[in-house]
Amino acid sequence: MAFKCPVCKKQWNFSLQVARHIFGTGDKPHRAWVESEGESYADLLVQQATSPGNASYETVAKLVEKAQSKL
């Protein structure tokens, strides 16, 4: 299955890759989308920067998966 970025509609094979793309881009529209889903972009970013593992990416990946049906 392909996963699309809810903001710019770019496509990847895994939702985790879309999450990384959202963090990597980090512009206003991508930040705003994360916020609109009820998460704090800054909190997730800081969590990712300061703790091992991929918890923040996984959180966003789940949001991406949920959003696919609406795209």
Partner 1 sequence: MTTTKKAQEATAKKGQEMTTFGLAKEKLTVLNTHVHNIDGVAKVTGRATYSFDTKLPGMLYGKILRSPHAHARIKNIDASKALALHGVKAVVTGKDTLGIKQGIWRRYQELCDEQILPVEKVRYIGEPVAAVAAATEEIAEAALDLIEVDYEVLPGVFEPMEAMKKDAPTIHEGVERNINVTRHIEWGDVESGFEEADYIREDNFFCGGQAHMCMETRAAVSSYTPEGKLTIYHSNQSAYYMQALMAGVLGIREGDIRVIAKYVGGGFGGKFELDGAIFCTAILTMKLFRPVKIVYTREEDFIATKRRTPMHYWVRTGIKKDGTFCAREARVVSNGGAYTGMGATALYLTGFFHSFPYVWPAYRYDGYRVYTNTLPSTSMRGFGAPQAMWCSEQQLEWMATDLGLDPIEMRRKNGHYAGYEVPGQAYIASCGLDEALTKTKEWIKAKGKLPANRAIGYSAAGFMSGGIFNWFDTPYSFSSAVVTINQDGTVILHIGATEIGQGSNTTMAIIAAETLGVKVEDITVHSGDTDHCPADLGAWGSRQTLMTGNATKRACEDAKRQILEFAYAKMGLNIVYDLDIKDRWVHIVARPERGMPWEELCKIATRGKDGQRIIGRGFYTPHRKGMISPAYSYMMQAVEVEIDKETGHIDLIDSLTAHDCGTPINHLGLIGQLEGAFSMAAGYGYLEYMPYEDGKLMNPNLVDYKMIRATEMPETPIAEIDTYEPEGPYGAKEAGEGLTNPTAAAIGNAIFHALGIQMKECPVRPHMIVQALKEKEEKDKAAKGAKKGK
Q: Which residues pair with 3 in a beta bridge?
A: 12
> How near is the Cβ of 60 to partner 1 at its closest, in Å?
13
Q: What is the smallest separation between the CB atom of 70 and partner 1, expressed in angstroms?
A: 26
Please, what's the b/e burial string for 17-30 (b: 16 or more CB within 10 A of its CB; e: otherwise)? bbbbbbbeeeeeeb
Residue 12's beta-bridge partner residues? 3
Contacting residues toward partner 1, per CB under 8 A = 20, 23-24, 26, 41-43, 45-46, 48-50, 52
Q: Pick the closer one to partner 1 by CB: 24 or 38.
A: 24
Q: Would you say 24 or 70 has its CB closer to partner 1? A: 24
